[in-house]
Structure 1
Amino acid sequence: MEDRVHSTKQGPFSIVTAIILIGYALFEILTSFFGMLEPLIQRSLFLGLGLGSVFLVGFVESGQNGWRRWYLLPLAAIGFYVGFHITWHNERISNFMIDITATDKVLGLLAIALVLDAARRSIGIFLPALAILGLAYYYFGNAWISGPWQPPRVSLITMIETYYASTETIFGYMIDLGTRVIAIFIILGALMLSTGATDIFVKLATRIAGRSYGGQAKICTASSALFGTVTGSAVANVMAMGQVTIPTMRRAGYSGGYAAAVEAVASAGGQIMPPIMGAGAFIMAEILGIPYSQVVVAAIFPAFFFFMTVWLSVGFYARRRNIAPLTKEELPAWSEIFDPYTSLPLYLPLGAMIALLSMNYTPTFAGAIAVGLLLVSQLALRIIKVFSEGQPKELGQSLMELLRQVLTGLYNGGRAVAMIAVLLACAAIVVKVLLTTGIGVKVAGIILSVSMGSLIAVLVLTAILAILLGMDVPTTASYILASAVAAPILVGLGIVDLHAHLFIFYFAIMSAITPPVCASVFAAASIANVNFWRVASHAVIMAVGLYLIPFMFIFRPGVLMEGTTFDIATDVVITGIAILAITAASSGFLTRTLNPVMRVALYIGAALLFVTTGWSDVVGFSIIGAVAVWGHFTRSPPAPLNVANAGKQVFRDNS
């Protein structure tokens, strides 16, 4: 009886929550199509709807009773109001000649507190705790601290004006980017998922990778790469794809820990996969003041090398254990991959979006067009299919199913956008503290002092900083914080702005798979039901080459499409060979199973390719080539394929 009463009480709130989140998503779609409202109005609606929705979703989905659940309702109401208050009073608040009222002060304090609590509920405790420490330092530091670390003195009014009643912090450029760019791509990904458009990714990946060694794991790698360009989120990738990929890899002969590690690492790489990269890439373009397409072009080879590393690693692993590829009969037919009823709603929106971005249209417009094409193509093709199959009576049922899928996508998209809104607001608080107190400059000074001005040391410390800041927070937050501190140092040492930011962004991505706190590994381990550290150890070994790729951004800028065609080709080939050698040494296999001496030799040869001199390239190539040739002529005859587990279940059966 108690469960029935609880369900009854929650029912109306579930409906209200669904209406608000669907409306939230529609608001973002419409403003992307027809233009944004005035900045303070657009941003306050975006954050107000997101802030209130986080608490409302928490209430609806909570399994607790009593005050532990019901107190979330007033928090949701206040969350909505602190945003709407700015919307209603935007003209007065925008006028710097008018003092803020007592109501503004109270709501400002409530808004900051609610942003911190909502962020804690959405992304964990680390970033909100950092924001609280920063605010305490900002407001009380002048009285509590003396010496070079003493921040300027500020009043409560100044704090509220800076953080709430202005377009500087929680209604600043990060929230602007969230509502203007990031939201529409999150909604696009949610709609693709809900309408089944992304199922084609699995079939395409199976066709590409299924017949090679490690086929099942390579399918996971390829599908996560394709899927990541829609979601832009490591954990979302793991949770969506891992339910299928991890069990399939285990049935093919991979251990649970290794299968989970493949999914975790491949999913993390989705955030650097063009054309839709992680939200941090949009923020990067905004910070640098460059077209988003320029970031996408620079990320092409880094993304290629990321997935090449995983691809090689699982291939070498499969060869060492003689795990068979899929048979021809298990591959999906090309007709399934290019069936217009299932493929057009995927290829048409993505193709149009890539074309528009390449023509330097804004990401907002490109995303809006992609959403429109997705919905229109789904509607048109379902109507055509019903009549072409001679079943006009099924039209109503088909359209109702499409409506259900679209509403589900809008709901999930609205929910994800709400989490992004509070994440960006919380990150904005921390960044503002770094800027207004000068602590960011002081930390940068410490990095320079410890590194003694050495570029290599600065790069290593920057990588460590990005990974540490990424513990228990999304990549976007890690990138924002690390770039605020470290990017000026790298640029000051002569590194191109875009190269410096991509270096930081890449290591922010790596935080998702780097122990001890790594969200992707935790998610994959929970799906595989294996020990976390077992998954983490496999992920780190697999990712050895990945940790070295960003250093090539600095020493071989051709990897980022910088320089002449010859320079780009040379840097790409050398980087590819270095990654091949590192991955082979880490996996213990190249043309044969490698002994310790051969593995060390490959590491040495790869290390020499990081030194940008002619002699080091020649020596490095010679060492790697010698190991490959020696291994080829001394390898044992291949053992019979391990086909016991192959062919029992393939991806297309699960999709």
Structure 2
Amino acid sequence: MSASSTPATDKPFEDMPRVVFWIAVAFSSFQVYTAAFSPLSSQVVRAIHVGFVLLMIFTLYPNFFGLRAKALGWILGIVGFVTSFYHWIYESDLTARAGEMTDFDMVIGIITIVLVFEATRRMMGWALPLICSIFLLYGLFGEYLPGLLAHRGYGFDQIVSTMSFGVEGIYGTPTYVSSTYIFLFILFGSFLEQAGMISLFSDFAMGTVGHSKGGPAKVSVISSGLMGTINGSGVANVVTTGQFTIPLMKRFGYSPAFAGGVEATSSMGGQIMPPVMGAVAFIMAETINVPYVEIVKAAVIPAILYFLTAFWTVHLEAGRKNLNGLAKEDCPNPWAAVRLRWYLLIPLLGLVALLFSGYTPLFSGTVGLGLTVILIFGAAVISGASNNALRYLFWVLLGFACMGFIAFGVITFFVIVAFLVAVLALRRGKKDVLSLAIKAMADGARHALPVAIACALVGVIIGIINLTGVAAEFGGQVIAIGEENLFLALFLTMITCLVLGMGIPTIPNYIITSSLAAPILLKLGVPLIVSHMFVFYFGIMADLTPPVALAAFAAAPIARETGLKISLQALRVAVAGFVVPYMAVYSPALMLQGDGDILDVVYIIFKAILAIGLWGAGATGYLFKPLNWFERLFAIAAAGFLVAASPISDQIGLATTALFLAWHYLDSRRARTASA
């Protein structure tokens, strides 16, 4: 497993030095405070956000080219943290002399660039820093390149100014999103996980499908999908739900590689599962300047189809290998699990309600986090109360908090929340609950590190692209290749996403590819959101694609199988998912875009389900009975005709689908009769 593929979140929190633990708590406290009260400008918040990230990465990962240099790590981390305050202390001066660099500005700018590159290398390996270095070198020396790639030339001070100051480099849109929406939603998921949301989702999934054919694998799909509603990190899903689902699948007959592939595929879907999608969704909303709810609306049907694909594939695999589920009596009662922990759903439902009511993700995430804190303490009080008085107190205070939010806004809400937490903590003396809340804050800060440092470094790419205009030139060349063939342009975009995904995470993958390819697709007539979702979708699929598949390698130690074998099985599980983005481009109604009515949406969903069903049968080699090679190819070909949106291809696809299903059903009945 490459360095770039090592999940940073695998390190247990018990190994965190105590000082770093409290730095993480301070980091989370700073983010919550600035989100709730906005006491600082956006530029200052971004700078201090990056400063905290540098401090934590250098202290948590002190290795320097194979040598453990703890003192050096602390020095670099403190330097990175202190330099971030330069933007706060000299904020007015930097604004007044924007573009005119002093010698001290140059020193701070160069130090910041070097530290961000080195922190990313320590956190994520060499791939992303090398790609960003190429763009940085292009900005410095691109004027000497031949032909169309040459630019007019930029001074060293102009490059440093763009990268280290202002809002087009390291502190650009990705860092803005990381320092606001992303951090809050990661913290939101961390609190819910600490409160027992994983147990709720696992018990519910076990109780609903655990006893069905192939039940253990279906549990993985459902529980990972539910986790995706609160946690947009695919790798985090693998290493949490996978600890339970992968051994369960192996115990009931699935191969280790297939079990790991199912978990990896299901977990990666969390990034496109509303309401809390992956960090890319928030970056996308800012990039194309649309409300976050529009991104959610575009993602909801493809997300359901993605998980339907995984669910259908594991069902067919269970039929092919004749794998049964758990005994009914061994499965928990799903509704008992809901009754026991129903209160954990309140923050999630509140978050969804606020998002769909038109509130910003920042506001919604802040209030959702406040509700989660209330419920963690409230659960402890209610479960241990010896009389009803304390329970009534809790619900009355919760009511006041909500009324304060409605009447006076988020500040009053958080004042009441703070009072409620203090009352409950003092009344119960629940040190374990307080430590749980503090641990959740440190946990959230730690999980935010790989996202935050990637967002900071890819700002280099965005800054160079905006400065030099290379995207327009590149786009013109690709349009020249694909201007008469939309499919070719889509295919080239997909390959770009998959190749980049071999070395870099989904966030920089999306930012790089969308900067280059999305404008091309827009000029070819693809709606704006659909073009960005196409790039986003295949950025996720890159984490399942060999030879470097991050989600598959994260599942490898749990499944005790090689990451390559797991990634090959993940492709089998997700193969039909490769079709959905293409269908959305040719029929934007699949993402609720365009001028179509409800019948258009129903029709495209019907076609997508048929295509997924046929593609899954062809990839698995089983439907009502095992399929031979000709039947598998025929099913895949029929599914292919359903992808395009032309009337003739639809007619051919529907006719061949009906022919295949009728013929295969009758053949399976003859086979059963003969065996009887």
State the TM-score, normalizing by the size of structure 2: 0.88
Q: Is the Cα contact below 8 Å between 1:591 and 1:628 reproduced in 2?
A: no
Distance in 1 of aligned mates of 2:365 and 2:623: 43
Q: Is the Cα contact below 8 Å between 1:557 and 1:571 reproduced in 2?
A: no
Between stretches 214-223 and 415-424, larger displacement belongs to 415-424
Distance in 1 of aligned mates of 2:623 and 2:67: 61
Offset, 1:394: 12
Q: Is the Cα contact below 8 Å between 1:472 and 1:519 reproduced in 2?
A: no
Q: Is the Cα contact below 8 Å between 1:280 and 1:479 reproduced in 2?
A: yes
Between stretches 97-106 and 253-262, larger displacement belongs to 97-106
For structure 2, the 5+ residue unaligned runs are 1-13, 391-423
Change (3 A) 1:318 1:56: same
Q: Which residue of the partner structure matches residue 8 of structure 1?
A: none
What is the SS of the residue equivalent to 1:463? helix
Q: Which residue of the partner structure matches residue 356 of structure 2?
A: 358
Counterpart check, 1:46 vs 2:44: no
Pairing partner for 1:446 from 467, 477, 481: 477
Between stretches 303-312 and 207-216, larger displacement belongs to 207-216
Q: Which residue of the partner structure matches residue 115 of structure 2?
A: 114
Change (3 A) 1:64 1:280: closer
Code of the aligned partner of 2:134: L
Distance in 1 of aligned mates of 2:297 and 2:426: 43
Distance in 1 of aligned mates of 2:23 and 2:292: 31
Q: Which residue of the partner structure matches residue 373 of structure 1?
A: 371
What is the SS of the residue equivalent to 2:625? coil
Between stretches 630-639 and 417-426, larger displacement belongs to 630-639
Distance in 2 of aligned mates of 1:36 and 1:465: 41
Measured against aligned partners, the alpha-carbon deviations of 1:157-204 in whole angstroms (never above 9, x if no partner) come to 212221113232112222111112111001111111222233201111
Code of the aligned partner of 1:314: V
Distance in 2 of aligned mates of 1:604 and 1:437: 44
Counterpart check, 1:102 vs 2:135: no
The runs of at least 4 aligned residues of structure 1 exceeding 4 Å deviation read 62-67, 388-398
Q: Is the Cα contact below 8 Å between 1:195 and 1:409 reproduced in 2?
A: no
What is the SS of the residue equivalent to 1:339? helix
Equivalent residues in 2 for 1:546-557, closer than 5 Å:
546-557=577-588
Q: Which residue of the partner structure matches residue 196 of structure 2?
A: 196
Q: Which residue of the partner structure matches residue 590 of structure 1?
A: 623
Equivalent residues in 2 for 1:522-533, closer than 5 Å:
522-533=553-564
Q: Is the Cα contact below 8 Å between 2:458 and 2:508 reproduced in 1?
A: yes
Equivalent residues in 2 for 1:423-434, closer than 5 Å:
423-434=454-465
Equivalent residues in 2 for 1:160-179, closer than 5 Å:
160-179=160-179
Code of the aligned partner of 1:337: A
Counterpart check, 1:56 vs 2:87: no
Q: Is the Cα contact below 8 Å between 2:553 and 2:562 reproduced in 1?
A: no
Q: Which residue of the partner structure matches residue 139 of structure 1?
A: 140
How many correspondences in the alignment?
A: 625
Between stretches 183-192 and 36-45, larger displacement belongs to 36-45
Distance in 1 of aligned mates of 2:256 and 2:360: 43
Q: Which residue of the partner structure matches residue 384 of structure 2?
A: 386
Distance in 2 of aligned mates of 1:162 and 1:639: 75
Offset, 1:106: 1.0
Offset, 1:331: 1.9
Pairing partner for 1:456 from 487, 490, 499: 487
Q: Which residue of the partner structure matches residue 482 of structure 1?
A: 513
Q: Which residue of the partner structure matches residue 187 of structure 2?
A: 187
Counterpart check, 1:416 vs 2:447: yes
Q: Which residue of the partner structure matches residue 412 of structure 2?
A: none
Change (3 A) 1:602 1:638: same
Q: Which residue of the partner structure matches residue 651 of structure 1?
A: none
Between stretches 35-44 and 500-509, larger displacement belongs to 35-44
Offset, 1:522: 0.9
Code of the aligned partner of 1:78: V
Q: Which residue of the partner structure matches residue 405 of structure 2?
A: none
Distance in 1 of aligned mates of 2:287 and 2:511: 10
Distance in 2 of aligned mates of 1:12 and 1:444: 47
Q: Which residue of the partner structure matches residue 501 of structure 1?
A: 532
Q: Supply the RMSD in Å over aligned alpha carbons.
A: 2.5
Offset, 1:626: 2.5
Q: Which residue of the partner structure matches residue 40 of structure 2?
A: 37
Offset, 1:206: 1.5
Change (3 A) 1:97 1:443: closer
Counterpart check, 1:28 vs 2:61: no
Pairing partner for 2:544 from 495, 508, 513: 513
Q: Is the Cα contact below 8 Å between 1:279 and 1:476 reproduced in 2?
A: yes
Pairing partner for 2:661 from 616, 628, 632: 628
Code of the aligned partner of 1:556: S
Code of the aligned partner of 2:629: P
Pairing partner for 1:14 from 9, 13, 17: 17
Distance in 2 of aligned mates of 1:12 and 1:245: 26
Counterpart check, 1:576 vs 2:577: no
Counterpart check, 1:87 vs 2:88: yes
Measured against aligned partners, the alpha-carbon deviations of 1:423-447 in whole angstroms (never above 9, x if no partner) come to 1110110121122223222332332
Offset, 1:141: 2.6
Q: Is the Cα contact below 8 Å between 2:16 and 2:60 reproduced in 1?
A: no
Q: Is the Cα contact below 8 Å between 1:54 and 1:419 reproduced in 2?
A: no
Q: Which residue of the partner structure matches residue 208 of structure 1?
A: 208
Q: Is the Cα contact below 8 Å between 1:123 and 1:472 reproduced in 2?
A: no
Distance in 2 of aligned mates of 1:300 and 1:463: 21
Change (3 A) 1:601 1:105: same
Distance in 2 of aligned mates of 1:230 and 1:202: 14
Q: Is the Cα contact below 8 Å between 2:59 and 2:70 reproduced in 1?
A: no
Distance in 2 of aligned mates of 1:194 and 1:295: 28
Counterpart check, 1:264 vs 2:264: yes
What is the SS of the residue equivalent to 2:653? helix
Offset, 1:285: 0.8
Q: Is the Cα contact below 8 Å between 1:214 and 1:318 reproduced in 2?
A: yes
Offset, 1:474: 1.5
Q: Is the Cα contact below 8 Å between 2:198 and 2:241 reproduced in 1?
A: no
Q: Is the Cα contact below 8 Å between 2:204 and 2:333 reproduced in 1?
A: no
Change (3 A) 1:36 1:173: farther
Distance in 1 of aligned mates of 2:65 and 2:435: 29
Q: Which residue of the partner structure matches residue 396 of structure 2?
A: none
Offset, 1:96: 2.7
Distance in 1 of aligned mates of 2:389 and 2:216: 38
Offset, 1:48: 1.2
Distance in 2 of aligned mates of 1:57 and 1:51: 10
Distance in 1 of aligned mates of 2:67 and 2:573: 47
Q: Which residue of the partner structure matches residue 567 of structure 1?
A: 600
Change (3 A) 1:317 1:97: closer
Distance in 2 of aligned mates of 1:538 and 1:168: 40
Code of the aligned partner of 2:481: V
Offset, 1:570: 0.7
Change (3 A) 1:591 1:126: same
Measured against aligned partners, the alpha-carbon deviations of 1:570-591 in whole angstroms (never above 9, x if no partner) come to 1111111111111111111112
Distance in 2 of aligned mates of 1:508 and 1:639: 48
Change (3 A) 1:616 1:394: closer
State the TM-score, normalizing by the size of structure 1: 0.91
Q: Is the Cα contact below 8 Å between 1:322 and 1:639 reproduced in 2?
A: no
Offset, 1:414: 1.1
Distance in 2 of aligned mates of 1:312 and 1:170: 43
Q: Is the Cα contact below 8 Å between 2:206 and 2:334 reproduced in 1?
A: no
Change (3 A) 1:567 1:394: closer
Offset, 1:87: 1.5
Q: Is the Cα contact below 8 Å between 1:590 and 1:628 reproduced in 2?
A: no
